[in-house]
Amino acid sequence: MSGILKLNFRGTVIHAEKSSLARHDGFSNLLAVSNQNPHLEPLFVDRDPKHFLKLLDYIRDKEILLPESEVEINEICEEARHFNLHYLIFKCQQKVENMKLKNKFRHLNGSAEILEAVGNSEKTVIIFYYTIDLSKESVPIQALEEFIDEYKHKYDIYFHKEEAIKWFSCKLISKTRVVNVLDANPKDIHFCLDEVRRILGTL
């Protein structure tokens, strides 16, 4: 299917390639109306045009750069629901969950922030390094929260996303020593936390 479909989003006219829209069933009604009644274009769509160009980029490139605003992500998610873009819905929900986790856990971004945190702390610093998606169901978030509640008054606890590691690991850093704790996959994070507890008992 080739050609351009003209759409009128509450007064804002947007041109979209029919071949791109045809990849997703959510646009089938618009394409059917256009093919049967081309004189009706631009077709009226009773939706806010604010994020439709992002949806077009997504269906064309199969990628999307989501904003850092939870409000805007939820708006995009709502438009994705309207057009049945299921994987985009999942991406939006995943992004929001990751943002909530970052707000819940103190994060350090880059080596400069790590050095600053260690240098400014009078306590032993615990840094959890991870490359896994913390929002996945297989990650025991409750166990991490319980660990933080148990030790937050005695230690400074941070998280740092580090692509160089395999899954999930931990470093205990004091003024005099650095202790590395084994890498763990999501199912072994409980064991990793127990190992951290054991080492903390020897410091």
Structure tokens at 4: 């351009």
Compute how many other C-beta atoms are within 10 angstroms of the C-beta atom of residue 55: 22
As annotated, the residues of the chain forming the CATH 3.30.710.10 domain(s) are 4-101
What are the pLDDT digits (tens) for 16-34?
999 989 988 889 999 998 8
> In the CATH scheme, what architecture does the domain 4-101 have?
2-Layer Sandwich (3.30)
Contact (Cβ atoms closer than 8 angstroms) between residue 171 and residue 196: no
Element (H, E) at 125: strand 125-130
Average pLDDT over every residue of 150-165: 86
Q: 3-class SS at 99? A: helix
Element (H, E) at 127: strand 125-130
What are the pLDDT digits (tens) for 81-121?
999 999 999 999 888 887 877 777 888 988 899 999 999 99
Place of tokens 């904003």: 67
Average pLDDT over every residue of 142-156: 91
CATH class of 105-200: alpha beta
As annotated, the residues of the chain forming the CATH 3.40.30.10 domain(s) are 105-200
The predicted structure's pLDDT at residue 161: 84
What are the pLDDT digits (tens) for 50-62?
999 999 999 988 8
